[in-house]
């Protein structure tokens, strides 16, 4: 039993060594780093896009359908400050 466990542990350790020292492993890590940077840039752009959309929706909700033109202009001026 002890010998079987030891053989299994050695096999797992050998697989780890082969994985980390395999040719092309560092290139694979570089690809993942670039992919993460690209994903981060996309998510930042989406956040800004969503913020612009929310700003438009919130501004539209402040204006009542029954409001006079002077009130509408005043509300828009306040939102811009």
Profile the chain (81 residues) by mean pLDDT over runs of 10 residues: 78 61 63 56 51 53 54 52 49
Please tell me the distance from the alpha carbon of residue 17 to that of residue 28, in angstroms, as a whole number: 16
| pLDDT of 13 | 66
Note down the domain range covering 30: 2-80
| pLDDT of 1 | 73
Please tell me the distance from the alpha carbon of residue 69 to that of residue 74, in angstroms, as a whole number: 9
The SS3 of residue 24 is: coil
| pLDDT of 6 | 79
Torsion of CA 57, 59, 63, 65, to 10 degrees: -30
| pLDDT of 73 | 54
| pLDDT of 11 | 74
Please state the domain count of the chain: 1
| pLDDT of 38 | 47
């Amino acid at each position: 039993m002890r010998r079987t466990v030891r053989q299994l542990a050695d096999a797992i350790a050998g697989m780890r060594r082969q994985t980390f020292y395999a040719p092309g492993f560092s290139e694979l890590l570089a690809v993942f780093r670039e992919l993460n940077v690209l994903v981060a840039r996309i998510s930042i752009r989406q956040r800004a896009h969503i913020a612009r959309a929310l700003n438009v929706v919130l501004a539209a909700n402040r204006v009542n359908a029954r409001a006079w033109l002077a009130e509408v202009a005043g509300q828009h001026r306040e939102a811009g400050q």
